[in-house]
Amino acid sequence: MITPKLILLVAALAPLFGAIVSGLFGSKVGRAGAHTVTIAGVLVSFLLSCYTLYQLVTGGWGVFNENIYTWFEVGPLSAHVGFLVDRLTAVMMVVVTSVSLLVHVYTIGYMHEDPGYQRFFSYISLFTFSMLMLVMSNNFMQLFFGWEAVGLVSYLLIGFWFKRPTAIFANMKAFVVNRVGDFGFLLGIAAVLLWFGSLDYATVFRTADATLSGKTLEIIAGHPWQAATVIGVLLFIGAMGKSAQVPLHVWLPDSMEGPTPISALIHAATMVTAGIFMVARMSPLYELSETALSFVLIVGATTALFTGLIGIVQNDVKRVVAYSTLSQLGYMTVALGVSAYSAAIFHLMTHAFFKALLFLGAGSVIIAMHHEQDMRYMGGLKKYMPITFITGWIGTLALTGFPGFSGFFSKDAIIEAVHESHRFGAGYAYFCVLLGVFVTALYSFRLIYLTYHGKERFVVEHKDSTHAQSHHADEHGHHEPGHLEHAPHESPWVVTLPLILLAIPSVVLGWFAIGPMLFGDFFAGAIFVKEGGPLAELAREWHGPGAMLWHGIMAPPFWLALAGFALATYVYLFNRQIAQRAATLFAPLYRLLQNKYGVDDLYFALFARGGIKLGRGLWRGGDVAVIDDGLVNGSAALVQGVAARVRRVQSGYLYHYAFAMILGLIVLLGGLWLAAR
Amino acid sequence: MFANWPLLSLLIWLPILGAIPLLLAGDRRPAAARTLALLITSVTFLLSLAMLSGFGASVAAAGTTDLGLLKNMHLQENLLWIEALNVRYHLGVDGISVALVLLTTFTSVLVVILGWGSVDNKVAQYMAAMLVLEGLMVGVFCALDALLFYVFFEGMLIPMFILIGVWGGARRVYATLKFFIYTFFGSIFMLIGLLYLYFKTGTFELAELAKVGLGAQEQAWLFFAFLIAFAVKVPMWPVHTWLPDAHVEAPTGGSVVLAAIMLKIGGYGFIRFSLPIVPDASMEYAWIVIAMSLIAVVYVGYVALVQEDMKKLIAYSSIAHMGFVTLGVFISLSLARSGNATGAAIGIQGAMVQMISHGFISGAMFASVGVLYDRMHTRMIRDYGGVVNTMPRFATLFVLFAMANCGLPGTSGFVGEFWVILAAFQHNPVVGALAAFTLIIGAAYTLWLVKRVIFGEVANENVAQLQDMDARETFVLVTLAIAVLLFGLWPQPLGNLMDAPIADLVKHIVISKGA
């Protein structure tokens, strides 16, 4: 019997199967076997996800909510593994599996010389499974499960090249910073259990209003906190870790130490959006607290603008895209903060495609440049790699919100929604997202120009030699910067095909999806918004994507993006000296951005060094000095003094001690016996 | 078919008596000693499985009178031991004991296999000590008579003392003395407490002691007597400093047993003695234990961060993780008495699951360090680096155990901590938050260890020459890995096993005993 349950189970487990085969039997199945089985697994999962979405959209299935098995039961409380699949879930499933599938294919090209080939495929399939478990969950326990599992795979993949000191520092940093978020997240779950007595979404969402109204938590006497605010803020702290929101954003740029395919899959398209998805999923809870949503709004706005600014001064092609990801995640968070959850999910979806495209394009450039990532040694690549170049432009236009491209619809919807919102912090957020548009265009076109246009700033040493590819994925940077052994060349089809396939939704997706998703009832029943949300306001003025396009050309974001584009064009295409001069002229500002506002240094000094200092202090001061030397050895010295007098009994043989102990025990028991008589 | 066997006695005495031929044979035939030890521990393990299978079948002793906490006790054996004192050889197991007995017999098999290659000196005596230790530990978990418990509890010290003292490292004498004095000091107080109860009631039967009414003052004295005894065993801050020293000096097998099983006896003691016998004092002074547990999580977490010796680091990590056991047990009182029976049950279940899980994880961690030590003869973190390059299989398993140590979902390490944190939040959100701090500090010290030992370029010549694990070592670590994953993904059987006794315990501690 083919039931929805079976289909969903197969969709979730197929990637796990691939991961196990490739991971445990990698040497037996070989490279081809490993990529075949994992790609097959993800393909099955993708097709079934599409089928699921189709069935849910056409009404073939109702919302699926069933438990699969009981994980742990204590009295009336039950924690289980189960699926809640509605249209929100199905959209996420399709996004995750489609990007994952393309990344799997791309990896064949990107990692083809890496000795850890099978291991890599195993990890990315395991990631796909974990991510599916996260989005398909119907309860908080499994959500946390998936939440941490994707964190684990992210850890393993950032540190994939485990010989690199920077990689193994970055993965530890990523895990620990994420754990700071998870700390809040777990407490949020604990708070849910405290007030609802259940970990099931359905129960919690259904009774949210009635249960939480009037409930408070008073940690500091005289300052009661609303229950909904406590839950909202705590859960959002988890999202701040996973979705890299200020001030827990520091791990994401460093995560670029991992191979590029996972930067696209995990650190751009899917895992980092888990926090966005989570808040959208919890909309019935968040709608109960204005305070929590304002918190979300302000954090998101800060992230959107200030991380984007750092992107302007980065020279590593992947880091530019990474800061862009941070900034775009900020946009999504802003959308959540103004209760435009579906706009957040919509931007999540379009962003997944165009950002995966940009990352994979960057990867293609990195292959061509023999693992040189510094844009200062690139330039003029358009003639060597036309497909990467064109798709790169498409991705950039989508990211900067060029009218008609998918990013235009999703980003403009967010900006409009913020404009409509009257929530505390909305004014600040509007300023941030608007200015962010300019910043986005500036760093994006800077990247395009520095990479593909202008003069070649690299030297090819053996122009004549054939393409005997000598680059080892795990050994970059061993040559002099800017010196290539062979001329750059377009990447193989396994790399360019995913680029083309990602370019298509980057262009057209917005046009088709915006109507139903934002202004229709596509997410009815999955996302809950109180009366009078900003999207409802916008819906009244909605006259189809064409009208929005027309309206968009006359709105400030377009002109700001154009200004960014113009500035980038002038500076990086025609007059590069200006950039140098600006850097000297505004040296303090430049340094501030270069140092990432000093946040990383501050954390390192405060938490890493500080933690070690504190640990040493507690150990040497507490354990060794006070407890051991003071109390224990002090008493021991006393005992020793006594023992010196009875030294004759000490033979030095442990057996004798042991025997004496047994004897003592017997005497003790004997004494007891006597006492009792 | 095992329903009528004296299974528990077999589980206790088979290993202890099995040690005799080993000792008689002496050092002449180490191979035979190893085989015999493996045989005995394996049979004991199989018998413990039989205990599990016969567990549901043999219902507790008949009689409709108030059995109290005895009513979940299966496979009882009740003989008079010392008539004049009314001391009884009374054994029995409920779900809590069964879980711990299984952990003991399971670990003992692995420890014998582990010692197979790494112990060359006085093999027969080593194995004999392990066997005696196993029997005594099983005895602790089965004893229903307080004095019988005490005899096993104290007796256990002897073989461990010998294990560290004979097969230990350079500072073994200091470590053994510290270990011995600490634990002996602690248990004296328990003995005095038990004697007091005996003179008051005329019995050592645990079930009777649980029923007897006690005044607030009496309970307070008894509570602190038990607290000292069990806090040393767990060990809790600030009586924990014996553990890192003992671990560092102990041979690998000794460390594994110490971490995997012996520490659990402290937690078990709290559940068997403190909670049922002195519930009111436990309630009143719970804040002390809770504070000590939280210090274990936070303070000891920081101390673990800066350790330079792998074994010390894992030892401190053990203390931090055992903090969840004591926390889970003692938050249950206020929860139960405020009508939140589910919250209380979650706390105790979490504590119990944490004990079992910590048995696997810390056992695995110490076994892993043993694998490295056997090759490099150093425990210092700075002597390692890039082990993954030469020992990929070992590295994979080590990372798995490290993740379990961080409490990653999907491993057994998550289950107990998850429940305890959830329950602690219900007790008091601040307590919950401090307990949840382990998410951060636990990850920090464990992953930093992994980074320095496992990852990176090959650090030196010695690491370059490392051989990956042989079949024997692989078997031990893979077995533990399976256990860690199995109970992480499917902990329900463990929950089912302990559900009934924990529910009854929660009902019991709600009722005030004030005389």
For residue A465, what pLDDT is reported?
46
Distance from CA of B149 to the nearest CA of A (A): 13
User: Considering only CB atoms, which chain B residues are within 8 Å of A191?
Assistant: 425, 429
For residue B60, what pLDDT is reported?
45
Q: Is A152 helix (H, G, I), strand (E, B) or coil?
A: helix
Query: Tokens representing A557?
Result: 């974001």
Strand pairing class (A459-460; A483-484)? parallel
Q: Do A661 and B432 touch (CB under 8 A)?
A: no
Strand partners, A70: A80
Strand pairing class (A216-217; A483-484)? unpaired
Q: Do B425 and A191 touch (CB under 8 A)?
A: yes
pLDDT (tens digit per residue) in A209-264: 888 888 888 888 888 899 999 999 999 999 999 999 989 999 999 999 999 999 99
* Pairwise CA distance, residues B494 & B504, whole Å: 17
> Model pTM?
0.92
If you average pLDDT over residues A175-195, what whole number do you get?
A: 94
Q: Do A187 and B432 touch (CB under 8 A)?
A: yes
Q: Do B161 and A217 touch (CB under 8 A)?
A: no
pLDDT (tens digit per residue) in A29-57: 999 999 999 999 999 999 999 999 999 99
* Pairwise CA distance, residues A216 & A227, whole Å: 5
> Where does the pLDDT of residue A284 fall: very low under 50, low under 70, confident under 90, or very high at 90 and above?
very high
A318-327, A497-506, A593-602, B360-369: the lowest-pLDDT one: A593-602
Q: Do B307 and A619 touch (CB under 8 A)?
A: yes
Average pLDDT of every residue of chain A: 87
Q: Do A191 and B182 touch (CB under 8 A)?
A: no
User: Considering only CB atoms, which chain B residues are within 8 Å of A115?
Assistant: none
For residue A474, what pLDDT is reported?
43
DSSP annotation of A476: -
Through-space distance between the first and last CA atoms of chain A, rounded to whole angstroms: 76
Distance from CA of B20 to the nearest CA of A (A): 15
| CB under 8 A, 24+ apart: contacts of A670-673 | A672/B85, A672/B195, A673/B82, A673/B84, A673/B85
Average pLDDT of every residue of chain B: 90
For residue A466, what pLDDT is reported?
46
If you average pLDDT over residues A64-82, what whole number do you get?
A: 89
A574-578, A659-663, B34-38, B164-168: the lowest-pLDDT one: A659-663
CB-CB contact of A23 with A119 (8 Å): yes
A331-340, A459-468, B70-79, B203-212: the lowest-pLDDT one: A459-468
Residues 6+ apart with CB under 8 A from A521: none
If you average pLDDT over residues B269-287, what whole number do you get?
A: 93
**CA dist B68 to B54, B147, B215, B267, B501, Å?**
22, 19, 20, 21, 11
DSSP string, A238-251: HHHHHTT-TTS-TH
Of A169, A217, A612, the CB nearest to B305: A612
Which helix H or strand E contains B20, and what residues bound it?
A: helix B7-25
List the single residue in B with minimal CA-CA distance to A179.
B440
Strand partners, B90: B78
Q: Is B387 helix (H, G, I), strand (E, B) or coil?
A: helix
Alpha helices by DSSP H, listed for A111-226, are: 117-136, 140-158, 165-196, 201-212
Strand partners, B78: B90
Of A74, A654, A672, the CB nearest to B165: A654
Per-residue pLDDT at A1 exceeds 70: yes
A435-455: string of b/e by CB count within 10 Å (b at 16+)? bbbbbbbbbbbbbbbbbbbbe
> Where does the pLDDT of residue B119 fall: very low under 50, low under 70, confident under 90, or very high at 90 and above?
confident
Per-residue pLDDT at B27 exceeds 80: no
Residues 6+ apart with CB under 8 A from B439: A179, A182, A183, A186, B406, B407
For helices A26-58 and A4-24, what crossing angle results, to 10°? Answer: 160
List the single residue in B with minimal CA-CA distance to A145.
B409
User: Considering only CB atoms, which chain B residues are within 8 Å of A665?
Assistant: 151, 154-155
DSSP string, A265-301: IIIIISGGGHHHHHHHHTHHHHTT-HHHHHHHHHHHH
Which one, of B479, B245, B480, B472, lies nearest residue B371 by Cα?
A: B472
Q: Do B495 and A72 touch (CB under 8 A)?
A: yes
If you average pLDDT over residues A168-192, what whole number do you get?
A: 94
* Pairwise CA distance, residues A285 & A278, whole Å: 11
Q: Do A217 and B403 touch (CB under 8 A)?
A: no
Which one, of B95, B413, B136, B397, lies nearest residue B257 by Cα?
A: B136
Q: Do A614 and B302 touch (CB under 8 A)?
A: yes
- Give the best residue of A27, A78, A127, A186 to mutate against chain B (max B CB count within 10 A): A186
Query: Tokens representing A175?
Result: 């895990």
- Give the best residue of A67, A71, A72 to mutate against chain B (max B CB count within 10 A): A72
Residues 6+ apart with CB under 8 A from A333: A239, A243, A245, A275, A276, A279, A296, A297, A299, A300, A303, A304, A344
CB-CB contact of B176 with B164 (8 Å): yes
User: Considering only CB atoms, which chain A residues are within 8 Å of B447?
Assistant: 155, 172, 175-176
A159-173, A606-620, B102-116, B128-142: the lowest-pLDDT one: A606-620
For residue A468, what pLDDT is reported?
44
CA-derived radius of gyration, chain A: 29
Alpha helices by DSSP H, listed for B377-491, are: 387-390, 392-405, 412-427, 429-436, 438-453, 461-464, 471-489
User: Considering only CB atoms, which chain A residues are within 8 Å of B481?
Assistant: none
Per-residue pLDDT at B1 exceeds 80: no
User: Considering only CB atoms, which chain B residues are within 8 Å of A628?
Assistant: 241
Q: How many CB atoms lie within 10 A of CB A138?
A: 22
- Give the best residue of A68, A619, A627 to mutate against chain B (max B CB count within 10 A): A619
- Give the best residue of B440, B499, B502 to mutate against chain A (max A CB count within 10 A): B440
Q: Do B422 and A189 touch (CB under 8 A)?
A: yes
* Pairwise CA distance, residues B231 & B228, whole Å: 5
| CB under 8 A, 24+ apart: contacts of B179-182 | B179/B242, B179/B245, B179/B246, B181/A636, B181/A639, B182/A632, B182/B232, B182/B235, B182/B239, B182/B242
